Structure 1
Amino acid sequence: MKKFLIAGLGNIGPEYENTRHNIGFKVLDHLARSLEADFQTDRLGDIATFRIKGRQVCCLKPSTYMNRSGKAVKYWLEKEKIPVSNLLVVTDDLNLPFGTLRLKTKGSDGGHNGLKDIQEVLGTTQYPRFRFGIGSEFSKGRQVDYVLGQWSGEEEEALPPRLERSSELIRSFVLAGASLTMNQFNGT
């Protein structure tokens, strides 16, 4: 049976819950709810497991904070015996307009500290990542405030259909693979 690890990046704690940087958690919460799965606190994070047409999916929300995500990702890949090719990391991206979805099978960390830590711990840039655009509507020197800031009212209203589209992208990745998923979803 094929197994997948979907790791949504974010920071734990109520002060981070509705911030742009926590879109990885938000996407996984939406996916799990749509499949009637619940997260349980386990080692290095919260885990929800379910099947999609015979494929086992483990969703991970690391409790290690964004900048130390690699430890949790590596632990769960090894524990569940999941190959890196079946890992999908869900994260925010400042370089994409709000709500834009982009799946890549490899690449640099793009200045994202969560991806940088995963890359260092796994020793590779050859793993799939799903970037959710959060835009870059901040003034010079205010990047941290922006990513750790709350969604605007307009963004909050636009999130539900983007979260649904994100769940569809993840299901497609699990069922159809990266290439077909990139063709269907990138830039939408």
Structure 2
Amino acid sequence: MIKATQALQDVNTQYGVYYVFGNHDKALYRPDSRDFTGDDLVAELEKNGVIVLQDESILLDDRFYIVGRQDASEEFDFGRSRAAIADLINPLDHSKYIIVLDHQPRDYAAEAKAGADLVLSGHTHGGQMIPLKQLINWFSIGQNDRIYGLEQRDNTNFVVTSGISDWAIQFKTGTKSEFVIVDVKEH
């Protein structure tokens, strides 16, 4: 964990590096399952210049916001609620671009209605395995609005990446590992 967080401090960006928790993060980072806690992870990230957003937003360069959501698993794994996206976005200046980081792609209608311009998600690993990806797509198994790719609803663009890693099963079939770079340009 320490080496991974140290590597993030070397990422060269104009506006910094931002982090939101995923569904495996807090549940797995307990003393009984790892040698560090979620609080230890946050401390290491922040020590290395990474900004952790948990149901909060930050205004950058007086031009755009990054809104980081608590993961939806907060409700299922811990019995805690996360803020409604409207409560996070409504107070913001909507003349500025609003980027939302939401690990699970499962709140598209509310995020579009609230006025997000861009929502970035992961979680699905692109379906990870054949035939899982096809079954999820065909039968709408699960709660995700999208398994992979780009979609636009109203004025909101949604991107779901398959990510670079796997899940409990240590390989992927039918999808690729990827590192996504998104360039947002002003009109």
Pick the structure with greater CA Rg. 2
Higher helix share: 1
Q: Same fold (TM over 0.5)?
A: no
Larger RCO, structure (CA 8 Å, separation 6 or more): 1
